[in-house]
């Protein structure tokens, strides 16, 4: 199985991504979860990570607490989407396992330094703060990384926080810049793609029939439509952003895109966090990211997700 570390800010769609990974032990070996401040403050994202591991029957997977705020800017949370707790509508018991004492950034450094070359794949489901910090602190860790797969960015779809920027990039544009300049093998799953995968009423119905606690939890999270931002309401059902990262690892052919140059805006207050994608190759900037903007098989994505949620407790 492919070794992965999930860096996350759960977050209702983060929760689905984590459960999808836990339901796929044949393909994915989840080494650890690292929490980052994002959708809700760090104490919540870290606690939610442990709650979700318990729900998925894997309390043995260690959880590390990473950065409490972005590299340069103040924290931007998204309670209007994810609720005050981050897991809107879902009440999970206080987890029994404690968080690890080691800081999440130092865990990344240790794990990647000890890894064989290209052994670990990093799944980023929130702002890129932890990985950027680790790359600044210990650039030699790139050796241990197979690739980075990140839910991030927006091109023709426009942003979901500002007209120009997607949340995970907007929350920490400087971290995004570090990552985009790292030379690492990088796949981005932007809003252009994730907006095509929505939890419609029909899919919620299918989910409720599965019968596992994990499937019920996802149905609960996605039934709480209260705080959906306007952009999400233009079509039926909330988008499943973060699970795309895990689905890509499980079935890369579900998605398609282009290997292009992506630069992030960090200077302009109007467009901070905007991903400037050289889709048509109008510059001579070298390609640095695989930008996935097409879903080749929508039903295939949901079949995969539901099949894996059925395998969990
Ligand atoms: C991203 O922002 C967060 O609110 C979601 O969890 C997802 O990672 C979508 O823009
Ligand atoms: Ca997230």
pTM greater than 0.95: yes
Ligand 1 binding pocket includes 121 (Cβ within 6 Å): no
Q: Burial, 97: exposed, middle or buried (Cβ in 10 Å; 0-12, 13-18, 19+)?
A: middle
Q: State ipTM.
A: 0.99
For residue 151, the ligand 1 atom closest to its alpha carbon is 8
Determine contact, residues 189/87, Cβ cutoff 8 Å.
no
Per-residue model confidence (pLDDT) at position 68:
98
Determine contact, residues 30/4, Cβ cutoff 8 Å.
yes
Task: From the candidates 82, 107, 170, 241, give the one annotated as an active-site residue.
Answer: 241
Per-residue model confidence (pLDDT) at position 236:
84
Ligand 1 binding pocket includes 83 (Cβ within 6 Å): no
Determine contact, residues 193/292, Cβ cutoff 8 Å.
yes
Per-residue model confidence (pLDDT) at position 252:
98
Residue 241 is a catalytic residue? yes
> Which protein residue has the closest C-alpha to ligand 1 atom 4?
39
Which ligand sits nearest to residue 7's alpha carbon? 2
Distance 35 CA to ligand 1 centre (A): 14
Distance 306 CA to ligand 1 centre (A): 21
Per-residue model confidence (pLDDT) at position 224:
74
For residue 39, the ligand 1 atom closest to its alpha carbon is 4
Determine contact, residues 273/161, Cβ cutoff 8 Å.
yes
Q: Mind listing the pLDDT tens digit of every residue in the chain (313 residues)?
A: 999 999 999 999 999 999 999 999 999 999 999 999 999 999 999 999 999 999 999 999 999 999 999 999 999 999 988 999 999 999 999 999 999 999 999 999 999 999 999 999 999 999 999 999 999 999 999 999 999 999 999 999 899 999 999 999 999 999 999 999 999 999 999 999 999 999 999 999 999 999 999 999 999 999 975 555 555 566 788 999 999 999 999 999 999 999 999 999 999 999 999 999 999 999 999 999 999 999 999 999 999 999 999 999 9
d(CA 227, CA 78): 10
243: Cα within 13 Å, side-chain hemisphere: 29
For residue 166, the ligand 1 atom closest to its alpha carbon is 10
Residue 260 pairs with which residues in a beta bridge? Answer: 289
Pick the closest to residue 277 from 295, 293, 253 (CA basis): 293
Distance 283 CA to ligand 2 centre (A): 31
Determine contact, residues 205/197, Cβ cutoff 8 Å.
no
């Amino acid at each position: 199985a492919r070794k992965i570390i999930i860096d996350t800010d759960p977050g209702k769609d983060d929760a689905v991504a984590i459960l999808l990974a836990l339901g796929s032990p044949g393909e994915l070996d989840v080494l650890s979860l690292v929490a980052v401040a994002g959708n809700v403050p760090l104490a919540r994202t870290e606690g939610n990570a442990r709650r979700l591991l318990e729900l998925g029957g894997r309390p043995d997977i260690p959880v590390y607490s990473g950065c409490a705020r972005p590299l340069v800017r103040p924290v931007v949370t998204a309670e209007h989407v994810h609720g005050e707790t981050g897991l809107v509508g879902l009440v999970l018991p206080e987890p029994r396992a404690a968080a690890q004492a080691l800081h999440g950034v130092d865990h990344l450094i240790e794990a990647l330094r000890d890894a064989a070359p290209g052994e670990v794949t990093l799944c980023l489901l929130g702002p890129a703060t932890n990985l950027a910090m680790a790359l600044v602190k210990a650039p030699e860790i790139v050796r241990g990384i197979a690739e980075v797969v990140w839910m991030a960015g927006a091109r023709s779809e426009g942003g979901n926080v500002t007209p120009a920027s997607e949340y995970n990039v907007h929350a920490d544009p400087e971290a995004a810049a570090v990552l985009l300049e790292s030379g690492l093998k990088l796949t981005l799953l932007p809003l252009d793609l994730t907006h095509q995968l929505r939890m419609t009423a029909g899919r919620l119905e299918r989910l409720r029939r599965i019968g596992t606690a994990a499937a019920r939890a996802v149905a609960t999270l996605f039934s709480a439509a209260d705080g959906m931002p306007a952009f999400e309401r233009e079509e039926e059902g909330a988008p499943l952003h973060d699970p795309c990262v895990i689905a890509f690892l499980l079935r890369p052919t579900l998605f398609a895109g282009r290997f292009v140059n992506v630069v992030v805006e960090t200077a302009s207050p109007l467009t901070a966090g905007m991903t400037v994608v050289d889709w048509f190759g109008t510059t001579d900037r070298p390609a640095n990211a695989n930008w996935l903007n097409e879903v080749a098989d929508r039903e295939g994505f949901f079949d995969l997700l539901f099949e894996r949620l059925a395998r969990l407790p």
